[in-house]
């Protein structure tokens, strides 16, 4: 049995294994009754059928309970705990994203916004959380800034690798270090690009340039 079949409270059998165990238990109960039958000629068939059912219940109940129900119940409890822990981690991550002083957002292949944290929503003057969904980057930036941004996003989609870029925002008249990273789907394909834009206006730097 592989390690995935084990849980903290016991063993979790695969369906075929459990079927074999139950079948063996039924065979054992019937065999015991068949062994008793020759030595008890005075008992009726109905009595033997009843005896067979009782013996089968006595054998199968603990088998099903301890080998199937109890481990499955423990597995469900552990799964629920894992889901609660994951939800807690997601809540902490969302809280961190929403309270950071950096702009964080996601865009798709059409350079449309999929997500913005509170800082970036504030920069673009969105009053409501979801007003930005489906809005294009070009709606809020100059043609020159848009072309540069598209070039970087395209490169992340093509290479599947992160990159950084220093740029001066015409909207804020401040300098930012923008980190673009791929968001990959279950098949490993890049489905979106995340952007973390950090204000570096107060940091000493020789000049703004792309960092690859």
The continuous run of DSSP H or E covering 62 comes out as helix 45-64
Task: Compute the half-sphere exposure of residue 108: CA atoms within 13 Å on the CB side of its CA.
Answer: 11
Tell me the sheet residues that pair with 194: 106, 181
CB 209 within 8 A of CB 168: no
User: Which three-class secondary structure state does DSSP give residue 55?
Assistant: helix
CA count, 13 A, side-chain hemisphere, 169: 19
Is residue 149 within 8 A of residue 171, CB to CB? The reply is no
State the CB neighbour count (10 A cutoff) for residue 196: 20
Q: What is the DSSP code (8-state) at residue 106?
A: E
Maximal C-alpha separation, the chain:
106
* pLDDT one digit per residue (tens) for the chain, 212 residues: 444 444 444 455 666 776 777 777 777 777 776 676 666 666 666 776 777 677 777 777 777 777 667 777 777 887 788 777 777 766 777 778 888 999 999 999 999 999 999 999 998 888 777 889 999 999 999 999 999 999 999 999 999 999 999 988 887 788 999 999 999 988 889 999 999 999 998 876 555 454 44
198 DSSP 8-state letter: E
Can you identify the CATH homologous superfamily of domain 101-211?
Answer: PAS domain (3.30.450.20)
Report in angstroms the alpha-carbon separations of 84 from 8, 17, 81, 91.
18, 31, 5, 10
Of 192, 163, 168, nearest to 180 by C-alpha is 163
């Amino acid at each position: 049995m592989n390690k995935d079949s084990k849980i903290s409270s016991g063993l979790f059998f695969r369906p075929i294994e459990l079927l074999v165990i139950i079948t063996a238990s039924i065979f054992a109960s019937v065999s015991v009754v068949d062994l008793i039958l020759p030595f008890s000629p005075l008992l009726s068939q109905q009595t033997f059928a009843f005896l067979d059912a009782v013996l089968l219940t006595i054998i199968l109940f603990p088998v099903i309970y301890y080998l199937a129900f109890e481990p499955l119940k423990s597995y469900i409890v552990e799964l629920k705990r894992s889901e609660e822990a994951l939800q807690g981690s997601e809540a902490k991550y969302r809280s961190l994203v929403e309270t950071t002083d950096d702009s964080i957002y996601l865009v798709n292949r059409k350079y449309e916004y999929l997500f913005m944290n509170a800082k970036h929503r504030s920069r673009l003057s969105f009053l409501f959380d979801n007003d930005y969904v489906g809005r294009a980057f070009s709606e809020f930036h100059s043609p020159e800034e848009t072309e540069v941004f598209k070039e970087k996003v395209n490169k992340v989609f093509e290479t599947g690798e992160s990159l950084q870029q220093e740029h001066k925002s015409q909207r804020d008249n401040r300098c930012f270090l923008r980190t673009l990273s791929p968001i990959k789907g279950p098949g490993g394909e890049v489905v979106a690009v995340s952007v973390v834009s950090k204000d570096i206006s107060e940091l000493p730097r020789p000049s703004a340039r792309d960092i690859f």
